[in-house]
Each structure stands twice: as C-alpha cells, then as structure tokens.
C-alpha cells in the first residue's frame, strides 16, 4: 500500500499545491497581511521645468497632501513610518485636462508585496502666467526697549526682494515683513535668518508656499539709542497788522521725547520754533512738523511728530487820554539846576492803542509819563514826553512839553511865579508851541500872582474804534 502511494504520480502532483496552501495558511496565521492608512503625506512634484519653461506656474486645486493606504505583511508595515512614504506627481504626464496620476512608493523598504492606494488618485493642476514683483522689506518690532532707550535706525539686508509666483497671487502682495523682538533692549543688536512673509493691502498674510523669494532669509540690524525729553518753545516774530495785536500762543504738546547720538543729544535743551506774524489780522492755526526743527541725527520717539499751534490775534481800539504836568515824572535833573514847565496847568493829549478791555481802564496816572532832562543845559527846551513800556497797549502819538532850566544862582523862579490858566491843545500830535516858552519869560518878570486850582479843567477821554 505504501509503495502504491509513493509511486502514484497523481498524488505527488497534488501534494505540491497542497503543501503550498498549507504553508500560506501557516504564514498568514503567524504574519497576516494587513492594511494601514498614512495621512498627510506631502506630494513631491517632478519635472517642474516642463511648466516653468512655458512661462507658467502651477498650483494644486485640492491641496498638497494626500492619504496613502498600504497593504502588506504586518511584520513589514510595522517597520514603515510616515516619513518613509513618497508620493510623486510627474508634471510631464499631465493630461489635456490638467490631471496627473499620483504614484506612491516606499523607497526605504522596497518590497514587491506592498500595495499602495492613494486618495485622491488623480491630482488637478491649475496653471497660470508667472509674475515677478520687487517688494520692500518692512521690519515689525514687537515689545518695548528698556526705559530711557529707543530704537533708532533699522537696517534690513536685503531691503528688497523679488517674489515670483502666480500672477493672481503676486499682484495681491503689498509688502514683505519680518518680525524682530526688541523687548528690554538697551544696546544695538543684529538678528539673522529671519523668514520673510508677504501681506496684502489689508494686512492679511498671503500663503507663500507656492511663491519663490530671491532671498529666503533676511538679516536686520537694530540701532538702540538713549532718549531725552525736552520742552518745545514757540515764539512769534514780526508785528501784527495795523490795529491788531498778538495776544497769546497756545500749542500742544509742550514737550517731546527725542533720541539720537549721545554727543548731539547732550547739546539739545529745547526745540525752539519761530512763527512769523507780520501783518496778520486773524488767528493762526497750524500743524508744525517737529522733524523740520531737529538737528541731523536726532529723531522723535513715537508717532507724535507734530504739534498743533494756535496764535490768537485781536483787534485793537484807540483812546485819547488827557494829562497835565502833574502827571509827568521828572528824571535826571542836572545838578545845580532848577526847572519849570512853560505852563504847568496846560492840558496835553496822548493817543493810545490796545485791547478794549485794557484801554477802557487806562487813566493818566497809569501811563507812566516822564521827561528825561539828562544832558540838557541852561535855557529853554521842548522835550518829548516818554512813557513806560507796556506790552498791553501802544503809544500812538508823542506829545511834547516846554521846560526852562536855570542855574540855582540865577534865581529865575520863585514859588509865587505867575502861571497861565489851563488850556486844551488843539492837536494831540502837537501839544506844545513856542508861546509856552515865551510865557515862561513873561511869568518870570511879572508880579507874583497866584492862579486858583479851581481853574484846572477836567481830563477828557475819548475812545476811537
């Protein structure tokens, strides 16, 4: 029986596949075939020159990652990691409908038994004209420098880059930006390998994964300098229009923080600003750029680089004020001399100009009238009456008085000298004539006569608009 079985060719032939089946069953029980998904596998594009040579660029409609499902022995799949898988898209194999088949592989474990399923299987490509644009690099600072310090000049290298990509995307780019942290900085420093990002006009970041930059990293040098707070001084020069006066100058802010080189910073104690008010007849309101008044190498800290100035100009009124010799102070009477007015009771007039609320309250005693006899010799003199300076009003007319200077030994005057009764002058601009001097001679040669104080006339005031 045994020999019969051993010599049976049919049984021998049947045993071979049977053994294979049994082996497979045993293997599958011990190391079964399984499937395992791997997500977010990036797509690698091959032969990109096929697109760029046409002056075109491409973009992927569905995204740049896919899911790959791998089927194989458990013992093999246990060795495969996410990074071992590769998915390629050959741009030379693109269909007329811009479709490319995705091919998955595992170069690290090149097992023929592995099966790959890519989802999605086909990739849709969008092609567009290529555009190149030159974009300025802006440096965004975050944080604040240490107290007493400020960021001065900021230098980016390169400060311009070329951005290439799809025309529809590149045309949206408004700026390129890198970010530098300056928090608590008290000395100059440099940052390297900063990655630029691009933004549209609204400040929204644009995806740059499909864009190419002429420089992939930027170096930035930050110059940190000391700061100083100085007052602002606004002054006026010139004279307002006839009949008008500059009343006050208001401005805001009154001080500003500046920064710059130490040697220049130490020389600055204030920022003087001069505004010309010649012939102005109305208020002046203006914005002044402080940068125009700073020396080279000095800049403003912060965004407030200008001040608001208001110069108040008001219309003046005129008023005629009457006064007598008793309202005039005498200064610098020469030694050994005595003096006398030609007519001590004569009424003089002076015209003043100023603000109505000031001028309306003026009286003769508030004008500060005086005559200066310095360097005058013996004899008769016609002297201009002077007035103490006052910024609130202006003397428009200058009256004159007649005086006589005599040496003490001449005894040309006595306490009982005759005086003329008071009389008003006809014109405020010419309040003295030669008759005053002649009357002094007559008075000195006449009998002693007293003139009653009741003859003195009241002082008249008149206001002109």
Regarding whether 261 and 165 lie in a shared domain, the answer is no
107: its two tokens:
């170069």
- For residue 457, pLDDT over 80 is answered with no
Q: What is the predicted pLDDT for the residue at 412?
A: 47
Task: Identify whether 451 is part of a domain.
Answer: yes
Q: What is the predicted pLDDT for the residue at 394?
A: 85
Which of these, 207, 256, 250, lies nearest to 229 by C-alpha position?
Answer: 256
What's 354's domain CATH number? Answer: 2.170.120.30
Rounded to 5 degrees, φ, ψ at 223 are -95, 110
CA separation, residue 415 to residues 340, 368, 406, 447, 448 (Å): 11, 26, 14, 12, 9
Mean pLDDT for the chain? Answer: 83
What's 177's domain CATH number? Answer: 2.170.120.40
Regarding whether 153 and 45 lie in a shared domain, the answer is no
Q: What is the DSSP letter of 75?
A: H
Domain boundary, last residue among 120, 142, 170 = 120
Total of domains in the chain: 5
Domain boundary, last residue among 98, 120, 142 = 120
Task: Identify whether 55 is part of a domain.
Answer: no
Task: Identify whether 459 is part of a domain.
Answer: yes
Regarding whether 210 and 262 lie in a shared domain, the answer is no
Q: What is the DSSP letter of 47?
A: -
Which of these, 305, 191, 306, lies nearest to 259 by C-alpha position?
Answer: 305
Confidence band (pLDDT; 50, 70, 90) for 336?
Answer: confident
Confidence band (pLDDT; 50, 70, 90) for 320?
Answer: very high
As a whole number of angstroms, the distance between CA 235 and CA 225 comes to: 30
Domain enclosing residue 99, as ranges: 33-49+60-120
Confidence band (pLDDT; 50, 70, 90) for 398?
Answer: confident
Regarding whether 220 and 205 lie in a shared domain, the answer is yes
Q: What is the predicted pLDDT for the residue at 393?
A: 85
Virtual torsion, Cα 252, 255, 261, 265, nearest 10 deg: 130
Regarding whether 453 and 372 lie in a shared domain, the answer is yes
Q: What is the predicted pLDDT for the residue at 6?
A: 59
32: its two tokens:
């079964």
Regarding whether 440 and 339 lie in a shared domain, the answer is yes
Kindly provide the b/e burial profile for residues 298-328, where b requires at least 16 CB atoms within 10 angstroms of the residue's own CB: bebbeeeebbebebebbebbbbbbbbbbebb
- For residue 449, pLDDT over 80 is answered with no
As a whole number of angstroms, the distance between CA 168 and CA 392 comes to: 69
Per-residue pLDDT tens digits for 264-299: 999 999 999 999 999 999 999 999 999 999 998 899
Among 161-170, 240-249, 336-345, 422-431, which is the least confidently predicted range? 422-431
pTM of the model: 0.49
Per 3-state DSSP, what percentage of the chain is helix, strand, and coil (rounded to 5)? 15, 45, 35
Which of these, 72, 47, 77, 43, lies nearest to 60 by C-alpha position?
Answer: 43
Per-residue pLDDT tens digits for 105-161: 998 887 778 999 999 999 998 889 999 999 999 999 999 999 999 998 899 999 999
Which of these, 152, 72, 147, 83, lies nearest to 113 by C-alpha position?
Answer: 72
Regarding whether 342 and 449 lie in a shared domain, the answer is yes
* Element of type H or E holding 258: strand 255-260
Q: What is the predicted pLDDT for the residue at 271?
A: 96
Asked if 90 contacts 100 with a C-beta cutoff of 8 angstroms, the reply is yes
Q: What is the predicted pLDDT for the residue at 10?
A: 66
- How many helices (H) does the chain have, and how many strands (E)? 8, 32
Regarding whether 110 and 17 lie in a shared domain, the answer is no
Asked if 189 contacts 155 with a C-beta cutoff of 8 angstroms, the reply is no
Q: What is the predicted pLDDT for the residue at 344?
A: 81
CA atoms within 13 A on the CB side of 357: 2
Regarding whether 458 and 361 lie in a shared domain, the answer is yes
Which of these, 325, 433, 424, lies nearest to 382 by C-alpha position?
Answer: 433
* Element of type H or E holding 434: helix 434-445
Q: What is the DSSP letter of 427?
A: B
Domain boundary, last residue among 289, 315, 341 = 315
């Amino acid at each position: 029986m045994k020999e019969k079985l051993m010599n049976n060719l049919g049984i021998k032939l049947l045993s071979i596949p049977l053994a294979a089946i049994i082996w497979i069953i045993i293997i599958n029980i011990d190391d079964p075939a399984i499937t395992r998904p791997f997500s977010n596998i990036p797509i690698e594009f091959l032969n990109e020159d096929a697109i760029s040579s046409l002056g075109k660029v491409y973009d992927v409609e569905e995204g740049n990652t896919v899911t790959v499902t791998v089927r194989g022995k458990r013992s093999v799949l246990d060795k495969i990691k996410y990074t071992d898988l590769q998915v390629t898209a050959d741009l030379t194999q693109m269909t007329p409908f811009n479709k490319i088949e995705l091919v998955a592989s595992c170069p690290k474990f090149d097992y023929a038994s592995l099966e790959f399923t890519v989802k999605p299987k086909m990739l849709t490509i969008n092609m567009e004209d290529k555009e190149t644009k030159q974009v300025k690099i802006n440096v965004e600072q975050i944080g604040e420098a240490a107290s007493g310090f400020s960021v001065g000049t900021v230098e980016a290298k390169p400060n311009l880059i070329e951005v290439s990509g799809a025309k529809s995307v590149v045309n949206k780019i408004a700026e390129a930006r890198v970010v530098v942290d300056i928090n608590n900085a008290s000395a100059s420093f440099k940052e390297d390998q900063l990655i630029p990002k691009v933004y549209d006009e609204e400040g929204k970041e644009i995806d740059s994964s499909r864009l190419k930059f002429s420089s992939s990293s930027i170096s930035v040098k930050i110059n940190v300098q000391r700061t100083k707070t100085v007052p602002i001084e606004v002054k006026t020069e010139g004279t307002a229009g006839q009949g008008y006066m500059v009343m006050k100058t208001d401005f805001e802010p009154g001080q500003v923080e500046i920064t710059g080189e130490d040697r220049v910073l130490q020389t600055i104690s204030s920022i003087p600003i001069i505004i010309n008010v010649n012939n102005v007849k109305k208020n002046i309101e203006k914005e002044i750029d402080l940068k125009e008044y700073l020396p080279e190498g000095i800049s403003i800290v912060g965004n407030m680089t200008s001040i608001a100035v208001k110069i108040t100009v008001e219309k003046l009124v005129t008023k005629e004020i009457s006064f007598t010799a008793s309202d005039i102070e005498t200064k610098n009477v020469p030694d050994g001399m005595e003096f006398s007015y030609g007519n001590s009771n004569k009424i003089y007039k002076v015209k003043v100009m100023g603000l109505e609320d000031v001028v309306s309250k003026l009286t003769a005693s508030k004008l500060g009238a005086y005559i200066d006899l310095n360097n005058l010799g013996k004899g008769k003199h016609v002297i201009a009456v002077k007035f103490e300076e006052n910024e609130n009003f202006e003397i428009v007319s200058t009256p004159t008085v007649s005086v006589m200077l005599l040496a003490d030994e001449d005894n040309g005057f006595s306490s009982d000298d005759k005086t003329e009764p008071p009389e008003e002058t006809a014109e405020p601009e010419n309040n003295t004539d030669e008759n005053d001097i002649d009357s002094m001679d007559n008075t000195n040669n006449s009998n002693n006569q007293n003139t009653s104080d009741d003859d003195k006339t009241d002082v008249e005031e008149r206001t002109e608009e």
